[in-house]
Structure 1
Amino acid sequence: MKTLIALLLGGVKLAKLGKIMTTGGTMLLSVVTYAWVFGWRYALGFVALLFCHEMGHYVAARQRGLKVGAPTFIPFVGAWIELKEQPMNAETEAYVGMAGPLAGTAAALACYFLARNEGSSLLLAVAYSGFFLNLFNLIPIPPLDGGRMTAVISRKVWLLGAPLLIAVFFWRPSPLLILVALLAAPQVWRALKGDDAMPPDYYASASAGTRAEYAFIYLGLVTFLAVMAHDVHEMI
């Protein structure tokens, strides 16, 4: 029995060590990669903002009792957490989706105030990246966070995300946008047809008050990030 318990505890420790190594290793890889292009100080700040964003998702998922993996980073793609079990309803999905941009915005705002206090153009650039990154993530189209947040409001909102994604692509062409479009296309097509792979009660479980609350938070966050991204860009 003691041997069995020791093996189980050893397995748990190894699992935790594996998570730490996955997150730490991919973070280090991202820092090194970004440092080659933008310099190591900016790279550290940018990856730290990504980490804050993903930890927002992680904490929210754990709060709702979902099994979730540690954050994983890929240079020039971003980062994500692996949900090992899917939310049971659209409100939970929106809650987890909302937490990332909220945490990321708070981190970018901290960089902004620190930059203004210290007169640091580097921190101001990091703050701008954070505001823009979180604003981009709020485009109402899956698999972006905006798609997860607006699903509880109405799946038809996804139809607004497609032209926004196209507009961003023409403004700043990027392979990442093509990847997002490919991932989003099936769900947007189903929304256009009024069809969905999820059961009806997945969306119907949210009350009108809950939908209104998420709509208010979503629009407020988009407005705030748009204003901050614009103003900080002008400062830079």
Structure 2
Amino acid sequence: MELLNIDCLGKPLKLEGSPAGWQQLHWDGQIVSQKQGSADGLKVHVFRLHDGSHQTDIEVRLETYLRWQPFVLDYRLVVEDEIIASGQRLTKDIERQTPTKPAVANKQVKPLGLLALAFKLFKSAKVIKVVLAGASMAAYSWLFSFEFAIALILCLVIHEYGHIRAMKRFGLQTKGIYLIPFLGGLAISDSKLNTRWQNVVISIMGPTYGMLLSVIAFIAYEITGMELLAGLAVFNALLNIFNLLPILPLDGGHIIKSIGYSQNHLTGLIVCIAGAALGVYISYALGLTLLGILLAVGSLEIIMEWRYRHQSDLLPMDRYGQIVSAVWYLLTIAILAGIIAVLASSSDNPVMQLPLHILRG
């Protein structure tokens, strides 16, 4: 991942690194230094450059002192024993940075390229979104009913809107919400994530908005007695609790992966295994067979990939971020499961009991 990008003799000096301990330094797109060793601590990159204003090569030295959790990078750039740049970078700086992209040469518009340009304009005019939304409404109305289709699309839109709000909170560019018939919804961003905290917040805000919808519908049902509101609350809760299962590419898979992969030591792996085992045990103890099976499969997949965590370009979370993420995740699941259990036990309507039966397999 990109740790630093500053000016050096009129050209960009970029430092890349990984929690695995390697660092690579680029000047004007060329590798000038590489270091391997301890992830934290002092690293000094020394290299020589030829500058047009000097008849001989000049010595450049970049000194960095890095701590990954919580992330702090102190740096000092020295040219010919003169300090020309120094400073400190924190997690918020990594979150706000925009990765550099190679320049793309301008191309002349050819006659055959006008068709491709027209297609891009067609997509950018939001026609695709309208077509997909209409197709989703028709598909769900055909499978269930028009009223249920409206409720389901409402649940999907609010869920995806939570993702969009989180993306905008981090200053990421978004393309909006796409409703995919029979598959749900999709919130698309044009920007690249920089930290695992961003990945957690963006992933969990969809189920959080969905949880709020279920809570509001449940309260409204308690006040009015309208079973339509109860059905909205319970099926929306089921939709979001499945989305929180630790299975990629579901939101729960991204959340658990970001928490587990932020652990630099064996302790993190032990915590992941213990948490997965506890979740499976609780699921079976409550008779939620299907949930227990999916939880076991998803957790095993994430644990098996734990060894490759240092190859990611995302900045790991510190201990505080890991704890907040875990509590947020578990609390959201608990509230959604609570709504399903309460409505199933308080109503004789088999429709209200269906989500609980599904979870029990």
Tell me the TM-score normalized by structure 1: 0.73
SS of equivalent residue, structure 2 residue 188: coil
**TM-aligned CA deviation for residue 171 of structure 1:** 3.4
* Contact 1:152 1:203 (8 Å CA) reproduced: no
* Contact 2:132 2:181 (8 Å CA) reproduced: no
* Contact 1:137 1:146 (8 Å CA) reproduced: yes
Deviations 1:45-104 (A, max 9, x none): 1221111101111221122233333222222x3222234444222111111001100111
Match of 1:89 among 183, 195, 203: 195
Unaligned runs of 5+ in 2: 1-116, 262-268, 348-361
**Residue 50 of structure 1 corresponds to which residue in structure 2?**
156
Match of 1:136 among 230, 242, 267: 242
* Contact 1:115 1:123 (8 Å CA) reproduced: yes
Unaligned runs of 5+ in 1: 1-7
Higher alpha-carbon deviation: 98-107 or 225-234: 225-234
Q: Are 1:125 and 2:244 an aligned pair?
A: no
Q: Are 1:209 and 2:329 an aligned pair?
A: no
**Residue 141 of structure 2 corresponds to which residue in structure 1?**
32
Q: How does 1:1-236 map to 2 (within 5 A)?
A: 15-35=124-144, 39-69=145-175, 70-75=177-182, 77-155=183-261, 156=269, 171=290, 189-191=304-306, 194-196=307-309, 198-199=311-312, 202-204=314-316, 206-236=317-347
Q: Measured at CA, do residues 211 and 22 of structure 1 come closer, stay the same or move farther in structure 2, by a change above 3 Å?
A: farther
Q: Measured at CA, do residues 89 and 26 of structure 1 come closer, stay the same or move farther in structure 2, by a change above 3 Å?
A: farther
SS of equivalent residue, structure 1 residue 58: helix
Highest CA radius of gyration, 1 or 2? 2
**TM-aligned CA deviation for residue 188 of structure 1:** 5.2
Q: Measured at CA, do residues 19 and 91 of structure 1 come closer, stay the same or move farther in structure 2, by a change above 3 Å?
A: farther
Q: Measured at CA, do residues 20 and 71 of structure 1 come closer, stay the same or move farther in structure 2, by a change above 3 Å?
A: closer
**TM-aligned CA deviation for residue 152 of structure 1:** 3.2
* Contact 1:49 1:108 (8 Å CA) reproduced: no
**TM-aligned CA deviation for residue 106 of structure 1:** 0.9
Q: Could you tell me which amino acid in structure 2 is paired with residue 72 of structure 1?
A: L
**TM-aligned CA deviation for residue 42 of structure 1:** 2.3
**TM-aligned CA deviation for residue 130 of structure 1:** 1.0
Aligned residues: 216
Q: Once superposed, what is the RMSD of the aligned Cα atoms?
A: 3.6
Measure, in 1, the Cα distance between the counterparts of 2:128 and 2:209.
21
* Contact 2:211 2:335 (8 Å CA) reproduced: no
Higher alpha-carbon deviation: 151-160 or 40-49: 151-160
Measure, in 2, the Cα distance between the counterparts of 1:207 and 1:44.
41
**TM-aligned CA deviation for residue 117 of structure 1:** 2.1
Where is the helix percentage greater, Structure 1 or Structure 2?
1
Q: Could you tell me which amino acid in structure 2 is paired with residue 202 of structure 1?
A: L
Tell me the TM-score normalized by structure 2: 0.50
SS of equivalent residue, structure 2 residue 185: strand
Q: Could you tell me which amino acid in structure 2 is paired with residue 33 of structure 1?
A: W
Higher alpha-carbon deviation: 149-158 or 214-223: 149-158
Q: Measured at CA, do residues 107 and 16 of structure 1 come closer, stay the same or move farther in structure 2, by a change above 3 Å?
A: farther
Where is the strand percentage greater, Structure 1 or Structure 2?
2
